[in-house]
Structure 1
């Protein structure tokens, strides 16, 4: 496993402020302004800066109600009003946090916990370590092998073992634990008289909240009566204490980088609030890094490993693991591998980045409970002699490259890429436990080894930090004692094999999902690996030039905005924008925040862009700022110095519907609608003598809707080659096709795509800027003209309620855990997902089928063309100039043939010197 994962620090700003307020004396400055809480927050943030976090965010509650208030009117109703002295310190706190360079996130309609939970899970999915700086026990539900909690006031760290030690239940049962106890602070109802010990006892006995509820009749005494009285409200309590992890955010994990501190603003604020130590450090320019002796208390040290534990808390067998340090041992294992029907394998490396990772050792297992680790590059002082790495890999190469010899991995694509760097082309990967779990149920849990081992085997694996330590004292895997490394690395291979034996029979019993796994996901692994290894050529000079141009234009926009306003203001401050736009300029407040204040989000500014020039300029500024921070600066930084290319990472087991995602860089979010955004794509170039070819499915999800619904009108429109949006407009508005105007086509397009995503009259009205009644009329006319679409939607909802899942055309399943929820909003969300998933999932399956077919056609070492990128419904290739026509025809034929639909799969193909030109 890699040893230098990137890290994200998420600061619970609300918790910081409240804890500091109650923990510190009521300090004031000379002017009598309260400063105690502010002082505590500043000190905690300065300590965070000393750790030099790669990515960080300060998350605070936004004013106004949240979805929990809608769910339960009495939520937090018993809380006392925020003290005046505390409230006075909120704005100064945010000013200092921003001046220190921390990204600040305040999202209306949800709590800070939900924003943190969403970012934590997103970062975890990208392979990052996450530290949540908080004192709030609710966050224990998020703890995982890559997510831990740090309490800066007590200098303690909470990982999985600490959660169990503190609460008596593991992280995955914290929600059940909190629901049973309730929360008097937030006014969450629980079971009367049920305290921590009783909640933990019940969960240990019955497994979960559902188990407790199911067995409530068996609980005796008065507490049993209280439990039975609470049964109806416990699902609500569980919903209230569950941290939301799918909040729609305007920023992603990659956007959360520290900005350069605003020294002058900090100096003014520190002076005003009399933070003299901070002021002295600021004047000295001091930002010292922590030395090892300064590491927070509670950080685990490298040493004896804890015993692995099962779900019931009993010590589980760690297996018979062998360190291979002699040639006869290796020879015996090679013979054993040759005889095995299936080889489980894993690599231990120096980096999460497969393109730069160096192999430290390899592990194998062929029968459950027995495994071997071959150390190759442990370099700590006094390390015993190890077998020569080149000779070992040469001995293993024939086996690893034998396509007839079946292999098994957990996230095997990483190991394929690592071995490719060592000159070994791994073949014969028949199974991947990550993908087995993902295809079996994409939404049931995460699909990492630690989670799956706990879920399917009741086994607690050794965590990476258990062998390398944590924080400032963490060591690279190459410096881990070989005996300790053997238990950790061999366990990886052993548990991978055990997981396969547990999961594969369940998957093999489901004809549709097993077909998706066997025919799509497993064949796609080497295809994606080759794409990642190839990378795409990037013109760094063009990116840097564009970055400078963006900075210049942003400064011009700032000056123009100040001139229009008649005074300076911060374009990044919603509060200042509210005052300027709606109080000074008296512009129309089209949208409101949950608290009733005029909104300044993108949608709100778009709505008033015709009233005054300022909203348009602010929107342009925001767009440029995001482009600059996310792309022009970062893309240049991640170009591989050896290849001169950007090598993204594709993720198969992330999106529930089967769509691929990517990171470092996130290719799915590179903008294409604006001129500045298209320039980003211009930096993705072809080498001399080659061209970029981009092939994009045209309106694929609408075509899938036509196929699945069988609606005669939609089928006829597509078969006749009509503009589907004009055709819909003609039907809905009752006009001739030639008479459809731009507004009618725009409305029809919104309806066509909106209905696939479950949009109702309210959403359509907002999107088109019309009344809700008019929007409802549009939808009614649409269904009148296309009755097959309504019938399909009704059928799919019925199926979802009946089966608990929906399927794509090829058998991929999406389980809908909230389809029977008592909460109407959750149930409605599941119904919307039920309608959309067959379209989006089938589209994902189709392009995967196309990628596998094209890769097979091109072959491994094709001298004429290389598949480089997959972005939504588009494939991007690098094609030799003299082979463009051949490749264009071949790609179109295979993409069009990737599915047999009732309408043609149309593929638009462009060619150019760069990605933008190819559109």
Structure 2
């Protein structure tokens, strides 16, 4: 009977596989971490799925083994470990030590030998051994109680082999697997084997003779003459290869099983190391300890409110506290009909929990809460405060004195994080583990509605959340001050949360009938294009299948294949564009893709999310997603409504102003180039903007050395591509492709531009040099972006970092400016008591929905707010237009 389970990990194999399976991950100070991250993710999965009583990780050491001494060419020619991987070995071992995961190492022996010795020792003790590796050599160790878990497809999947599974797949026993290696050899270890003998032949021979030794003694029984001659000529190689491939299972090391017992790690050290390497999402998987003092503190201060009298009694206590952290949970995800079911309000001394499911008189309770949340002398803090503004809006409660949002604060501190969840921040700053929403509700099909969750569990979640926000405010605020981000935070980002909440609540009206008509039109167009494509191909096939499309284009129609992938021919847009003149089917396929995307993503997509009450779409505007500071939107992504094609532009016609209102649309003119002129202080750029000249015509005049009135449309297009591409570090190859000109001509364009705009060239050089010294770049408002890519030894990654160093101060400053303008516009509309509402922001464009009698004042107000958002040496300019639809107003 199996007593205990031990997991033995082949450390070198797993970290090597993780390194190549994951894209480069780099910390802010340039340390590579992808291999470590992948390894630890796998370790976490092993803990969860196999729950071993014992665990150890075996590593190779640099000292030569007995195999090197016996065969000088052993592992000769093996590719040297990349420096990006090598630098992760020592930190990984440090982390394993902190986790109390035993490391198995011994000079003169490989990790395989130590794994084999330990697994056989445990086998004799009646234990189950699980060996995790990417090396099939370990299959020779498989038995009834020793299983080999081979990593497949990166690090996410494991194939399990015991002795029966080995025999089923290879038709030999685990011990005979060594004989296979002796005959086949192993290129990765430079084990010679018998030349010309592959896996099929080796299996056939071992099935016939059982072992290499038996084969050698009976070569006369080999029927094939050439094969017999090969075997006889390489007997010594086969014997030596088997010896080299044999894992030693009796290494003379003392095994202390108790040292491999899985125990809790050093909590503080784990957190410190995971912070250092920015493994914030992993902290809660490994650092499972909870701060007991905080738990006790929470138990003492939590007050449950289940009736109106209790709420009235605590109202004055909250008011006296002067500061409250607010958190609410709603029943559904519809901002117009959603009801709040639970609220927590945390102060420095007390946490109050309201379970509205147990209270009959909702309205009276919400009136009491309104008195708190709208008080001038109570400061409100939260995590993702925009959500709270939206939750309380249907109750006509306006959160009046919002002073801090921990999520927004952390985003400003590091805009490259993948998550700003309260749980991750609590672990990172407070070394505590709290419940998150997934733990509260579950996930997928098993996810519970809040109304079905136990009241005590919600209470625990809400109170932990409120207390965490209070505790997090101080360290996050300190970092904001240290990084000189106060102005950006308090003047721009924090007030913007209210602006975005208002935009989400207001939404934008769509014409359902027009969308339905477009659905039919686009569907008919798709059907017509499908028939044309089938006719041109001479066969019906799935146009949406890259595999089938590739076969039609490159095999049946015999078009020249431009690029191949692992799965076949590439049929991406770049490939098809290069073939556009080769066959009339190509333009049809490109158009088919465009129309199907428009229909599925925008027409069908928009129809599915129209609010049935308002007939408006209420998009979510995200403040903490992009590294540049740009606002993004989801459900739907209004930033991506296509405008290059007429069919795409027509989609803007479905966005309509409500009756008696019009859209006032304002778009910044050349904002990024104006920012570039300001930062670089380039005389030519500044002069062009000062004279209000067409910047692309002026640039064309400069780089082609012709008067402005002689600039052709082709020259202007070329100059426009250079203007927009230059601060993205565009190459001559990239520009040539964009303009369909030779690389030499593109290079000439770029060189001519940089010669005429010499300060732009200085800016590009200095921004990269500065970023390399500091490790980050800044916008005009001090928004920072860290650039660890600049220290990469990989040319492509380093070049990407250099392009970002040049572009982020420009694009990020443009993002800052549009946000400042949004705050100014929103506050001005409120101050003037106007009915007009700011409803949409797309890139450098703002849209207000205004009643007819307010158009004049809104026009002046919008233009003034946008053009005076910030003072630049190249004056900001906004172009305004009006219309009943977004299409007309643009």
TM-score for both structures, normalised by structure 2: 0.69
Taking the aligned partners of 2:378 and 2:88, their CA distance within structure 1 comes to: 60
Alpha-carbon distance change, 596 to 333 in structure 1, aligned in 2, over 3 angstroms: closer
**2:515 aligned with 1:534:** no
Unpaired runs of 5+ residues, structure 1, are 1-73, 80-109, 118-135, 144-148, 150-157, 170-176, 207-211, 213-218, 228-239, 244-307, 378-384
> Aligned partners of 2:468, 2:566: CA distance in 1, in Å?
51
Instruction: State the 1:839 CA deviation.
Output: 0.9
2:525 is aligned, of 534, 542, 553, to 553
Deviation at 1:909, TM superposition (A): 1.3
Question: Does the 8 Å contact 2:344/2:466 carry over to 1?
Answer: yes
Higher radius of gyration, 1 or 2: 2
Please say if 1:573 is aligned against 2:573. Answer: no
Q: Counterpart of 2:120? A: none
1:697 paired with 2:668, answer yes
Contact 1:819 1:830 in 2 (8 A): yes
Specify whether residues 918 and 714 from structure 1 end up closer, same or farther in structure 2 by C-alpha distance, changes over 3 A only: same
Match of 1:407? 380
**In 2, distance between residues paired with 1:503 and 1:193?**
29
Q: How much has 1:160 moved relative to structure 2?
A: 12
Give the whole-Å Cα distance in 1 for the aligned partners of 2:20 and 2:17. Answer: 17
Aligned match of 1:463: 436
- Is the contact between residue 308 and residue 364 of structure 2 (CA under 8 Å) also seen in structure 1? no
Q: After superposition, give the CA deviation of every residue in 1:239-287 in whole Å (9 maximum; x if it has no partner).
A: x9899xxxxxxxxxxxxxxxxxxxxxxxxxxxxxxxxxxxxxxxxxxxx
How far is 1:786 from its partner?
0.8
Q: More deviation in 449-458 or 742-751?
A: 742-751
Looking at structure 1, the residues matched to 496 and 777 of structure 2 have their Cα atoms a distance apart, in angstroms, of 23
* 1:723 corresponds to which of 674, 684, 694: 694
Deviation, 1:159, is 8.4
User: Per-residue deviation at 1:694?
Assistant: 1.2
Change in CA separation of 1:366 and 1:241 when aligned onto 2, cut-off 3 Å? farther
Cα distance between partner residues in 2 of 1:501 and 1:463: 21
Contact 2:60 2:110 in 1 (8 A): no
CA change 1:471–1:667 in 2 (3 A) is closer
Match of 1:520 among 472, 492, 499: 492
- Please give the per-residue CA displacement for 1:199-238, whole angstroms capped at 9, x wherever unaligned: 75335379xxxxx9xxxxxx998589999xxxxxxxxxxx
Note the C-alpha offset of 1:556: 0.5
1:360 is paired with a residue whose SS is strand
Q: CA deviation at 1:407?
A: 0.4
Of 703, 710, 714 in structure 1, the residue corresponding to residue 685 of structure 2 is 714
- The yes-or-no answer on 1:394 pairing with 2:289 is no
Deviations 1:788-844 (A, max 9, x none): 111001111111111111111111111223222333322222221111111111111
Tell me whether 1:795 sits opposite 2:766 in the alignment: yes
| 1:53-132 alignment runs, 5 A limit | none
Q: Which of the residues 617, 624, 641 maps onto 1:646?
A: 617
1:425 maps onto 2:398 in alignment: yes
In the alignment, which residue of structure 2 is the partner of 1:322? 303
Which among 688, 705, 709 is matched to residue 738 of structure 1? 709
Q: How far off its partner does 1:603 sit? A: 2.4
| Distance change >3 Å, CA 187–CA 455, structure 1 → 2 | farther
Q: In the aligned structure 2, how far is the partner of 1:78 from the partner of 1:139?
A: 9
Change (3 A) 1:77 1:506: closer
Q: 2:628·2:812 contact (CA, 8 Å) conserved in 1?
A: yes
Q: 2:837·2:849 contact (CA, 8 Å) conserved in 1?
A: yes
Q: CA offsets per residue over residues 426-445 of structure 1, 9 Å max, x none?
A: 21111000011011221245
Is this contact kept in 2: 1:309–1:459, CA < 8 A? no
Determine helix, strand or coil for the equivalent of 2:428: helix
Structure 1 distance, partners of 2:109, 2:837, is 68
Residues 364-403 of structure 1 aligned to structure 2 (within 5 Å): 364-367=345-348, 370-377=350-357, 385-386=358-359, 388-403=361-376
State how far apart, in whole Å, the 2-side matches of 1:396 and 1:78 are. 55
Distance 1:540 1:692 in 2: 18
2:420 aligned with 1:447: yes
For residue 726 of structure 1, give the secondary structure of its aligned residue in structure 2: helix
- SS of the residue 1:825 aligns to: helix
Following superposition, the deviation at residue 876 of structure 1 comes to 1.0
Shift of 1:769: 2.5
2-structure distance, mates of 1:605, 1:473: 43
Identify which of 48, 66, 74 aligns with 1:162. Answer: 48
- Provide the residue aligned with 2:145 in structure 1: none
In structure 1, the residue corresponding to 2:791 is in which secondary structure? coil
Aligned partners of 1:349 and 1:359 also within 8 Å: yes
SS in 2 for 1:686: coil
Q: Counterparts of 1:484 and 1:434 in 2: how far apart (Å)?
A: 23
Instruction: Check conservation: 2:58, 2:105, Cα contact below 8 A.
Output: no
Q: Say if 1:76 and 1:401 are closer, same or farther in 2 by CA, change over 3 A.
A: closer
Cα contact 1:77–1:187 (8 A) shared by 2? no
1:554-601 Cα shifts (integer Å, max 9, x gaps): 111111122223332332233333344344545465x42466976422
**1:97 aligns to what?**
none
Pair 1:197–1:602, CA change in 2 (3 A): closer
Match of 2:342 in 1: 361
2:476 matched residue in structure 1: 503
Q: Quick check: 1:179–1:241 contact (8 Å CA) kept in 2?
A: no
Counterpart in the other structure of 1:65: none
Change (3 A) 1:224 1:655: farther
- Number of aligned residue pairs: give it: 680
Q: Is the 8 A contact 1:820 1:827 kept in 2?
A: yes
Does the 8 Å contact 1:180/1:199 carry over to 2? no
Match of 1:623 in 2: 594
Q: Is the 8 A contact 2:546 2:569 kept in 1?
A: no
Partners of 1:529 and 1:179 in 2: CA distance = 53
**Residues in 1 aligned to 2:490 and 2:59: alpha-carbon distance in whole angstroms:** 40
Cα separation, partners in 2 of 1:490 and 1:750, compared to 1, 3 Å: same
* CA 373–225 in structure 1, closer or farther in 2 if over 3 Å, else same: farther
Distance 2:627 2:568 in 1: 35
Where in structure 2 are the equivalents of 1:227-238 lying within 5 Å?
Answer: none
TM-score (norm 1): 0.67
The answer to whether 1:416 aligns with 2:389 is yes
1:475 to 448, 473, 481: 448
| Cα deviation code 1:857-899 (max 9, x no counterpart) | 1117944421110011000111212332332222112111112
Report the Cα offset of residue 613 of structure 1: 2.5
Structure 1 pair 387/76, CA: closer, same or farther in 2 (3 Å)?
A: closer
TM superposition shift of 1:623: 0.6
Alignment partner of 2:97 out of 202, 214, 217:
202
Q: Mind listing any 5+ residue stretches in structure 2 that lack a counterpart?
A: 1-12, 26-34, 63-74, 112-152, 157-283
For the 8 Å contact 1:365–1:494, the answer to whether it is kept is yes
Deviations 1:396-422 (A, max 9, x none): 111111244210010011111110012
Which residue is 2:746 aligned to?
A: 775
Aligned partners of 1:438, 1:844: CA distance in 2, in Å? 15
Equivalent-residue separation in structure 2 for 1:338 and 1:224 (angstroms):
71
The alpha-carbon distance between structure 1 residues 528 and 719, as it changes in their structure 2 partners (threshold 3 A), is same
Relative distance call for 1:791 and 1:343 in structure 2 (3 A) is same
- What does 1:259-298 align with in structure 2 at a 5 Å threshold? none
Please identify, of 542-551 and 418-427, the stretch whose mean Cα deviation from structure 2 is larger: 418-427
Given the superposition, is the C-alpha separation of residues 196 and 756 from structure 1 closer, same or farther in structure 2, using an over 3 Å criterion?
closer
CA distance in 2, matches of 1:578, 1:352: 42
Question: 2:98, 2:379 → 1: CA distance?
Answer: 41
- Which residue among 324, 331, 351 is the counterpart of 2:332? 351
Q: CA 1:165/1:735 → structure 2, altered by over 3 Å: closer, same or farther?
A: farther
CA distance in 1, matches of 2:510, 2:61: 55
Instruction: State whether residues 364 and 373 of structure 1, in contact with CA within 8 Å, keep that contact through their aligned partners in structure 2.
Output: yes
How many Å separate the matches in 1 of 2:17 and 2:442? Answer: 43
Alignment-derived partner of residue 61 in structure 1: none
- After TM superposition, list the pairs within 5 Å mapping 1:765-914 onto structure 2: 765-859=736-830, 862-914=833-885
Cα distance between partner residues in 1 of 2:857 and 2:362: 43
Q: Are the structure 2 counterparts of residues 359 and 656 from structure 1 closer, same or farther at C-alpha, using a change threshold of 3 Å?
A: same
1:294 is matched with none
Q: Distance in 2 between matches of 1:192 and 1:709?
A: 38
SS in 2 for 1:721: coil
Q: Partners of 2:660 and 2:312 in 1: how far apart?
A: 48
